[in-house]
């Protein structure tokens, strides 16, 4: 589904990703962990199509398409979704109007008829239940004045409504209390199926108890320096990153 090869990315004259390789198949959950500043959000943003970055080299194929050539909205149309680490507040745009615009834009991209008001309402009612979304949040401006947890829940709610093929969740678990975490995790799990895939960026093993990953990768200084199964996350939880850093730096002093 997603194939990243030797992706090198810079912002300004600072190189952030130094050659990332990653293969994700349909039905899989991949977790990406790594210390602060290692480039996790950068990778997510480049995949979603943020334009501030310079792609130095590498390629990304998503369902047979060259992802890096597509505009952000086309990537969404192709089925990519990014739950932002820091969702943007947009005063003056109501959550509902925004969602309707998004749903119908994606439907249009896929050559489907737009949903009418009744169909749309039915869809969001159903998805609201999935993430225990409060009705009042829908009529408010998009993320404006939402608490941290409400913003994250809203991201998952959008994911539920848009039903992406590949969802990238950038620290959706950070800052959530255990109840909110369960709700978010249950929502994500309910959306999992054999045709879609999830890329979870997280610092915490706790999330991975609820959404069990098939693979765990460690991103460090812009490279994936280790991959393993869910036990790698447990090991990291216990020992931190220093031991891997030490191992890697012993092998590649240039890092």
Burial class (CB in 10 A: 0-12, 13-18, 19+), 156: buried
Among 38, 41, 158, 172, binds Mg ion (CB under 5 A): 41
> Could you say which residues in the range 5-64 bind ligand ATP, by CB under 6 A?
11-12, 14, 16, 34, 36-42
Pattern of binders to other proteins over 191-220, x per CB under 8 A? Answer: ------------------------------
Lookup: tokens for 151: 């913003």
Lookup: tokens for 90: 């947009």
Output the smallest distance, CB 158 to other proteins, in A: 7
Output the smallest distance, CB 123 to other proteins, in A: 15
DSSP string, 128-164: HHHTT--HHHHHSEETTT--HHHHHHHHHHHHHHH--
Q: Is 172 one of the binding residues for ligand ATP (CB under 6 A)?
A: no
Residue ranges of alpha helices (H) inside the chain are 40-48, 72-78, 95-109, 117-130, 135-139, 148-162, 178-191, 205-210, 230-239, 242-251
DSSP, collapsed to helix, strand or coil, labels residue 65 as strand
Tracing tokens 């590498």 back to the chain, one arrives at 58
Quick check: 58 and 7 in contact, CB under 8 A?
yes
Lookup: tokens for 136: 């009042």
Q: Is 91 one of the binding residues for ligand ATP (CB under 6 A)?
A: no
Output the smallest distance, CB 160 to other proteins, in A: 13
> Could you say which residues in the range 87-146 bind other proteins, by CB under 8 A?
87-88, 90-93, 97-98, 100-106, 109, 141
Quick check: 138 and 96 in contact, CB under 8 A?
yes
Instruction: Select the binding partner of residue 90 from other proteins, ligand ATP, Mg ion, none (C-beta < 5 to 8 A, by kind).
Output: other proteins
Q: Is 75 one of the binding residues for other proteins (CB under 8 A)?
A: yes
Quick check: 47 and 79 in contact, CB under 8 A?
no
**Residue 64, by phi and psi: left (phi above 0), alpha (psi -120 to 50) or beta?**
left
Q: Which is nearer to Mg ion, 8 or 85 (CB)?
A: 85
Q: Is 38 one of the binding residues for Mg ion (CB under 5 A)?
A: no
Q: Is 68 one of the binding residues for other proteins (CB under 8 A)?
A: no
Output the smallest distance, CB 19 to ligand ATP, in A: 15
Among 2, 24, 60, 76, binds other proteins (CB under 8 A): 76
Closest CA to 198 of 206, 207, 59, 103: 207
Q: Is 12 one of the binding residues for other proteins (CB under 8 A)?
A: no
Residues that bind ligand ATP (CB under 6 A): 11-12, 14, 16, 34, 36-42, 85
Residues that bind Mg ion (CB under 5 A): 40-41, 85
């Amino acid at each position: 589904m997603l194939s990243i090869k030797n992706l090198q990315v810079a912002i300004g004259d600072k190189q952030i990703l130094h050659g990332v390789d990653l293969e994700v198949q349909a039905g899989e959950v991949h977790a990406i962990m790594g210390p602060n500043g290692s480039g996790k959000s950068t990778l997510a943003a480049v995949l979603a199509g943020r334009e501030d970055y310079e792609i130095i080299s590498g390629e990304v194929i998503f369902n047979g398409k060259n992802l890096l050539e597509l505009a952000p909205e086309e990537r969404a149309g192709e089925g990519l979704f990014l739950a932002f680490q820091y969702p943007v507040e947009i005063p003056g745009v109501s959550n509902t109007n925004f969602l309707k615009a998004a749903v119908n834009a994606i439907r249009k991209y896929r050559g489907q008829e737009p949903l009418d008001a009744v169909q749309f309402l039915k869809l969001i009612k159903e998805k609201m239940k999935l993430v225990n979304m409060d009705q009042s949040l829908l009529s408010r401006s998009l993320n404006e004045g939402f608490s941290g947890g409400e913003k994250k829940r809203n991201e998952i709610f959008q994911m539920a409504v848009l039903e992406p093929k590949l969802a990238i969740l950038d620290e959706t678990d950070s800052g959530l209390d255990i109840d909110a975490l369960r709700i978010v995790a249950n929502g994500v799990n309910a959306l999992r199926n054999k045709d879609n895939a999830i890329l979870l960026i997280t610092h915490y093993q706790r999330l991975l108890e609820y959404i069990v990953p098939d693979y765990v990768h460690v991103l460090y200084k812009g490279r994936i320096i280790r991959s393993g199964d869910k036990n790698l996350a447990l090991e990291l939880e216990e020992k931190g990153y220093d031991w891997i850093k030490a191992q890697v730096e012993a092998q590649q002093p240039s890092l």
